[in-house]
Amino acid sequence: MNDFNEQNEFEVELQSPKKPRKNHTTAKVMAFILSVAVVGGGTGFVGTYFAGRQLRSEVAQQTPDSNDAQSPQQSDNSEESNKATPTLDDLQGDVSIPTTDSQIERNSDGTYKYTRDLVNAVSDSIVYIDVSVNYYGTETLYSRGSGIIISKDGYIVTNNHVVEDGDLFSVKVNDNANGGESKTYEAKLIGTDSETDLAVLKIEADNLPAAVLGDSDKLHIGDDCYAIGNPLGLETSVSKGIISGLNRQVSTTDYGLTSIQTDAAINSGNSGGGLFNAYGEVIGVVNEKYVSSYAESLGFAITINDAKSVIDDLISKGYVTGRSILGITYTLIPETYANRYGIAAGMRIESIDNSLAIAKSDLRVGDTITKIDGQSVITSEVSKILASKTPGDTVTLTVVRQGSSRNNTVDIEVELSENTGNT
């Protein structure tokens, strides 16, 4: 319905000041056309196109400026970077839900009988995250959110939109179950993924109260669930509800994961917190809600089973593996403009990444790509064409050479490279 206004939850709690964006080398801007140096993006007349979280990108990759800060996925030559990276299974191997209290009552199926006992057992696995930016030399609070401790040694899962654009990350951990006091740590950003809205932080600590990751495939509509997070800065808040829907596709990106729908109260600041089942296991990472005068109690959490492979990749690589890119920057020329000036409509190439496989092809700067594997780049969603491909696959580009008639085309085969997220 047009009346139903979808809004990404989690608008940054602190709206100002905004962090200055990094300046990347961009292609030339043609008259009437906005040049986009992105990895993909929608077809049609080019504009500044936002898809909920950030500028879409899946097709062309741009080389970062030499002055840009090192991205999380770029490794250095330090001894730490050469250490074997643990898998999520390794990290979860020694994690269990505390069962020391003999007074805890359970139902016949093993679920907690009382919500208070479940909350006492698992709430310390949820952390409070402060994100700051270096705003013209001054450290300034930029956003706040929640996170889930997934290992005793300090790996934490949260949402990408909680940490994106941040420079400094502060994590407050409670350890009330063991009689300890809260403690604040400086966190390192391990990896982020805007497509799935997941990110991983790491703090240097031992014997933390980590959460057990459950099996979201075993959920049923009507099951009890519990959202624990820090809405509006209110630390360790709990809301109870039921599973209202499963396998929801609410992401605006081609690589978005399935979501769990719940009527448990979700508010700004719950981002990155946990959705727990009645056994005290994490079944989802809270990340969205619908905001509308025509709807309420529509909250969503990323399904934990779908999230696990993303988390594994972020820990081991800093980016999600297996996604393909061409490796170009381009200007999208719409048909109306092309017809007016007698040129080809399509993706006019402004630069080619010489570090990727595409550099070995016959493609040239100034060429205009009109089709990919026979599908028009004007009428088809380019990002969706590439979403079905894997790195190493070969695609056929139908190209009009610069200076040639728009009816004079040539087919060029190009090998796709892996998108490492360095846009």
Catalytic residue selected from 123, 143, 151, 161: 161
The answer to whether residue 161 is catalytic is: yes
Catalytic residue selected from 130, 197, 312, 353: 197
Of the candidates 140, 138, 159, which has an alpha carbon nearest to the alpha carbon of residue 148? 159
Q: Is 218 helix (H, G, I), strand (E, B) or coil?
A: helix
For CA atoms 300, 305, 306, 308, the dihedral sign is positive
Structure tokens at 117: 């006992």
The answer to whether residue 271 is catalytic is: yes
**On the CB side of 172, how many CA atoms lie within 13 Å of its CA?**
16
CB 295, CB 336: distance < 8 Å: no
Structure tokens at 352: 């080619």
Q: Is 121 helix (H, G, I), strand (E, B) or coil?
A: helix
Question: What is the separation, in whole angstroms, between the first and last Cα of the chain?
Answer: 35
Structure tokens at 295: 């709807």
Structure tokens at 340: 């007016």
Of the candidates 151, 145, 139, 190, which has an alpha carbon nearest to the alpha carbon of residue 11? 145
The answer to whether residue 197 is catalytic is: yes
**Cis amide prior to 17 (ω within 30 degrees):** yes
Structure tokens at 392: 């190493």
Catalytic residue selected from 271, 351, 383, 417: 271
Of the candidates 8, 10, 19, 114, which has an alpha carbon nearest to the alpha carbon of residue 52? 8
**On the CB side of 128, how many CA atoms lie within 13 Å of its CA?**
15
Pairing status of strand 155-158 against strand 168-173? unpaired
Catalytic residues, which ones?
161, 197, 271
